[in-house]
Amino acid sequence: MDVGDATDTGVEAATDTGVRPIDPACIPLRPTVGSGVGAGSDQCGSFRAPTPGTGATFCSLGTDVPGLRAPAGFCIRRFATVGLPRVMAFAPNGDLFVASPSASTAAGDSGGLGAIVVLSDDNRDGTAEMHTFATGGLDTVHGIAFNAGFVYFTTTDAVYRSPYTMGQRAEMAGSRQTVAGGPMTTLGATLQRGGRWTHGLSVSVNGRMLATRGEYSSCMVGPDGRPAPGIGEVYELGMNSLNRVASGFRNPMYARCHPCRDLCMVAELGEDQTIGAVESLVVINNDHWYGYPCCYQNNAGPRASSGLCRCIDEQQVKINLGDTPFGFDWERGAWPEPYRNGVFVALHGSFYLANYAGAGIVFLPSDPATGIPRNVTPTRFIEATNGSAQQSLLRPSDVLFSRDGRLFLSDDKGRGIYWVAPTDWRM
């Protein structure tokens, strides 16, 4: 499909709310996930989508990016150059915080700063000024989130937080606090324990904080027939506690919550090059189990013959194995159709194929009643340029909508951060 003419692709109304009745015969087979937590309420009644201003258009700033083509009616601009930019999060004042780990990723990418950087645009020229917010012990920094006067962030085995005041661009010396994990075993469960260091972190509209953990594991089943609990999990994060909410994930690297609905999701990466495995976007529901490492979707996996794999919860949105969904976010209701209120996803592409096939930014329409993306073939929105004469966008790692309605995207391998805006939008 020509990305300059992106169109909707046969959309049907969503019926999957993420809650599927479980056959009573499955209860003895499923692992005990956890106690779960109570859901909150939607807050869309007070939510207002961004509206264009009356000044110059956003697209009058800067110039087109060589080799990159936005769909008709949009422009794309380079915002900053940052080493290995992974997760992004907007501060309350609109500054963009970016995790730049210096540790090599599983794909061998490197060149990060071992820091959290802040990108501001004080002179409103569409290009960022860069500030270093935090360093020291941040070689594996990944997840970032803001909540109740703090900026939270993850490393290999811990979640930390630092006090944040409006407009602050440097961490106060000695202010960092350990929330969970870390070197002091008295501070509760660790996020590592043999898992991956690329943890997700997000906050719901009700202040519920979620942290994720991926794993390297193989299927083990106890004498009672239940699979041993894996460590690919999603937790509700409290001070000195990690309360397991959902389990059976392989690698939920990115988590994000809806801007006004009580809806949080993770991007789950399937078992590499394995028949029956899929990538997916998964709604986080209490006490759900998604099967890994004993089962994959489609009743496949090491324990498929036992019937165990028919007992897993359904993943909401399937994505081709190898496309590798990383960060995602919801459009806030101001972009033109068909993109309004849709879910945009950064696809990192396949590590095993030339030019990281599949990499790019895609779009999924969402159910207007729930915010859950529809399980349809994603529409290509911006293609990666790896392998072309102009290599600008190589492996997208995150997408995030700003309060002014622009879509920001990071490219970890290409060391770039860009923004996209409708051509007629004014500042």
- What pLDDT, in 10s, does the model give residues 207-227? 999 999 999 988 988 888 888
Q: Is residue 427 part of a domain?
A: no
Residue 32's H or E segment, with its range, is: none
Q: In terms of Cα–Cα distance, which of 193, 212, 226 is closest to 294?
A: 226
* pLDDT value at residue 153: 97
| Statement: residue 65 has pLDDT above 60 | yes
Q: Is residue 287 part of a domain?
A: yes
* pLDDT value at residue 265: 97
* pLDDT value at residue 6: 34
* pLDDT value at residue 4: 31
Q: Is residue 307 part of a domain?
A: yes
* pLDDT value at residue 20: 58
* pLDDT value at residue 37: 63
User: Into how many domains does the chain fold?
Assistant: 1
Q: pLDDT band for 183, please (50, 70, 90 cuts).
A: low
* pLDDT value at residue 9: 32
DSSP state of 187: G
Q: In terms of Cα–Cα distance, which of 123, 151, 125 is closest to 138?
A: 151
Higher pLDDT, 364 or 195: 364
pTM equals: 0.92
Give the three-class secondary structure for 271: coil
Copy the structure tokens of residue 338.
């068909």
- What pLDDT, in 10s, does the model give residues 311-342? 999 889 999 999 999 999 999 999 999 999 99
| Statement: residue 117 has pLDDT above 90 | yes
| Statement: residue 8 has pLDDT above 50 | no
Q: Is residue 41 part of a domain?
A: yes
Domain hosting 283: range is 3-422
Q: Per-residue pLDDT averaged across 234-259, rounded?
A: 92
| Statement: residue 5 has pLDDT above 70 | no
Tell me the residue length of the chain. 427
- What pLDDT, in 10s, does the model give residues 102-116? 999 988 889 999 999
CA distance 97 to 348: 20
Is the separation of the CB atoms in 200 and 212 below 8 Å? yes
C-beta neighbour count of 15 within 10 angstroms:
9
Q: Is residue 127 part of a domain?
A: yes
Q: Is residue 406 part of a domain?
A: yes
Report the CATH number that the domain containing residue 197 is assigned in CATH: 2.120.10.30
Rg (CA), the chain: 21
Q: Per-residue pLDDT averaged across 381-399, rounded?
A: 92
Give 196's contacts (C-beta < 8 A, 6+ positions apart): 106, 213, 214, 215, 216, 251, 253
Strand bridging mode 241-247 / 254-257: unpaired
* pLDDT value at residue 15: 40
* pLDDT value at residue 193: 67
DSSP state of 336: P
Q: Is residue 232 part of a domain?
A: yes
* pLDDT value at residue 44: 92
CA distance 227 to 225: 6
CA distance 301 to 271: 10
* pLDDT value at residue 186: 42
Q: Is residue 117 part of a domain?
A: yes
